[in-house]
Structure formats: structure tokens, C-alpha cells
């Protein structure tokens, strides 16, 4: 016990107050820990649901005009095309560059992990590859000798190797049943993706629309602009001395086979 004048207090009273202070501090610390644990362990509120996708709707007159402008344009310009093609029960892929008027083009065709060359000259299609390539395309017999080109008829692989822009753009031409959902345009069973459709506020804006993808009649293609001079130069280099090519014909049971080689005279 302390007895300094009137300022005395019991040692027991001093110890009791000290202990109470310690208990209070510990209680505050424990309370803070409990609050923190509650906040951390509490599950986060659920994320808001994503906005609903834009509903398909009819085209405005300006949008229809813009799409028509782009489709007309595709028939006359050069393009690079990366496509997956389903034809005659087979699926092949192509990497091509060719002009919209079907005058010239070249590239590669891949079937069953084998690759061959493709050449377009004034609407005529030539292919070149090894035995495995032709077998993957359903053609019987040994491949042509040097220079190795075969002239394929318009109905080979349903004419989809160099798929004519005149054909696929016609299938996408807008009608009252056409619909637009975001940047995706549908015309019946077929579809395409356009850039810039949402920016049309006047007729002049139609020229800013571009097409980058289409899916028509078993051809799903990514499309990009190409330099026509580069396209022509690549085709000329690939097709040097290609000759008339060995024709593909149907045999007696309707399977594709190589026909007799045409005479080379009169052909380059």
C-alpha cells in the first residue's frame, strides 16, 4: 500500500485497474480480428448478369444500301481468303488470293493434312499435288506428270475452291427477310460479318462498311483486301508453263479420275 500523504492507493487497486486496461485492449484487438474475419469470409455479392445480346432486327434502308455497296464492291476487287469448305462429303481448307472477276489468283488447298497448289486463270481452276493430296480429294489414279497440273471442271468440289464472289454475294443480297444482330448479318441460312454498320448516319457512310467474314453454302471464309498487282504476280509465278493441265473426269461409277492429257501445243 502507498501512503504518501493523502495520495495513497492500495496496490491491489492499482493492479486491478492495470489488469482491466489489459483486458480492454485485448478485447478491442479480438473484436477487430473478428470484424476483419467476418468481412474477409463473407461471400462476395453476385456479379450482375451480363447484358442481353442485341436482338435481331430488320435492316434500315441505309444499312441495306451499305451492304449492297460492299457486296457489289467484292465482285470487282482482289481479296485474300482463308476458308473452310465442305463439299462432296469432304472438308478442306484453302488459303487463296484472287480477283473478284475470277481473272487470276493462286494459293494452297489442304485436305487430310496434305497440301497442294491452286491456280486460277480466267475462271479456269488448276490444282497440283502428290498422290496423297489427290486421294484426299477423292481422285483415283496416279497424279499428272510434270508440271503436275490438273484442270478441274466447274463442278469439282461443287465449284467452291475459288468460290466466285458473284455467287456468294448474290446469296447475301438483302431482302425483307434479312436481319442484323450486332455486326452479324443473316440472310436466310447464310450470314456475314460487317464492320461499320453501326456507324451509318447518312448515305455517304455506306462506303465505310467492310466485310470480313461470310458463311454461305458450305464455305466459311475470312476475307481481307489484297493488292491486285501482287495477286496477279503471284499467280503468274506459280503458273509458269502450267500448260492445259490433265483434265479430271467422272469414271463409269461417277468417281473422279484423271483423263487423258491434252496436247501441249498452243498453250503456254
Query: Looking at the domain assignment, is residue 138 inside a domain?
Result: yes
Is the model more confident about 225 or about 5?
Answer: 225
Count CB neighbours of 18 within 10 A.
10
Query: Looking at the domain assignment, is residue 69 inside a domain?
Result: yes
Decide if pLDDT at 159 tops 90.
yes
Average pLDDT over all residues of the chain: 85
Q: How many domains does the chain have?
A: 1
Q: Which residue range is the domain that position 192 belongs to?
A: 57-258
Cell 482491466 belongs to residue? 20
Query: Looking at the domain assignment, is residue 79 inside a domain?
Result: yes
Give the largest CA-CA distance in the chain: 136
- The Cα 247–Cα 61 span in angstroms is 47
Which pLDDT score, from 0 to 100, does residue 268 have?
47
Which pLDDT score, from 0 to 100, does residue 44 have?
64
Which pLDDT score, from 0 to 100, does residue 33 have?
67
Give, to the nearest 10 degrees, the angle between helix 61-74 and helix 165-172: 170
Query: Looking at the domain assignment, is residue 30 inside a domain?
Result: no
Query: Looking at the domain assignment, is residue 47 inside a domain?
Result: no
Query: Looking at the domain assignment, is residue 46 inside a domain?
Result: no
Query: Looking at the domain assignment, is residue 116 inside a domain?
Result: yes
CATH number at residue 107: 2.50.20
Which pLDDT score, from 0 to 100, does residue 262 have?
67
Which pLDDT score, from 0 to 100, does residue 241 have?
85
Decide if pLDDT at 132 tops 50.
yes
Which pLDDT score, from 0 to 100, does residue 204 have?
46
Q: What's the grid cell of residue 254? A: 461417277
The 10s digit of each residue's pLDDT in 28-85 is: 656 666 656 555 555 667 777 776 656 788 999 888 988 999 999 999 999 999 999 9
The backbone torsions φ and ψ at residue 194, rounded to the nearest 5 degrees and listed phi first, read -120, 145
The 10s digit of each residue's pLDDT in 22-40 is: 656 656 656 666 656 555 5
Query: Looking at the domain assignment, is residue 10 inside a domain?
Result: no
pTM, two decimal places: 0.76
Amino acid at each position: 500500500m502507498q501512503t504518501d500523504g493523502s495520495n495513497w492507493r492500495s496496490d491491489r487497486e492499482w493492479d486491478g485497474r492495470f489488469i482491466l486496461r489489459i483486458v480492454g485492449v485485448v478485447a478491442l484487438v479480438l473484436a477487430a480480428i473478428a470484424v476483419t474475419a467476418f468481412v474477409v469470409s463473407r461471400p462476395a455479392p453476385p456479379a450482375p448478369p451480363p447484358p442481353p445480346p442485341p436482338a435481331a432486327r430488320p435492316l434500315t434502308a441505309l444499312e441495306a444500301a451499305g451492304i449492297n455497296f460492299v457486296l457489289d464492291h467484292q465482285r470487282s476487287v482482289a481479296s485474300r481468303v482463308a476458308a473452310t469448305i465442305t463439299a462432296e462429303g469432304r472438308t478442306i481448307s484453302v488459303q487463296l488470293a484472287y480477283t473478284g472477276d475470277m481473272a487470276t489468283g493462286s494459293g494452297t488447298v489442304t485436305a487430310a493434312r496434305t497440301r497442294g497448289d491452286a491456280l486460277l486463270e480466267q475462271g479456269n481452276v488448276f490444282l497440283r499435288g502428290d498422290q496423297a493430296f489427290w486421294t484426299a480429294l477423292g481422285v483415283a489414279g496416279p497424279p499428272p506428270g510434270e508440271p503436275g497440273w490438273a484442270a478441274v471442271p466447274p463442278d469439282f468440289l461443287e465449284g467452291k475452291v475459288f468460290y466466285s464472289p458473284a455467287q456468294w454475294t448474290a446469296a447475301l443480297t438483302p431482302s425483307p427477310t434479312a436481319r442484323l444482330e450486332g455486326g452479324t448479318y443473316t440472310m436466310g441460312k447464310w450470314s456475314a460479318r460487317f464492320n461499320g454498320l453501326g456507324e451509318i448516319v447518312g448515305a455517304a457512310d455506306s462506303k465505310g462498311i467492310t466485310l470480313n467474314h461470310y458463311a454461305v453454302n458450305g464455305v466459311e471464309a475470312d476475307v481481307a483486301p489484297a493488292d491486285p498487282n501482287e495477286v496477279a504476280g503471284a499467280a503468274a509465278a506459280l503458273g509458269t508453263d502450267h500448260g492445259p493441265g490433265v483434265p479430271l473426269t467422272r469414271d463409269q461409277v461417277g468417281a473422279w479420275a484423271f483423263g487423258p492429257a491434252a496436247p501441249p501445243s498452243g498453250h503456254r
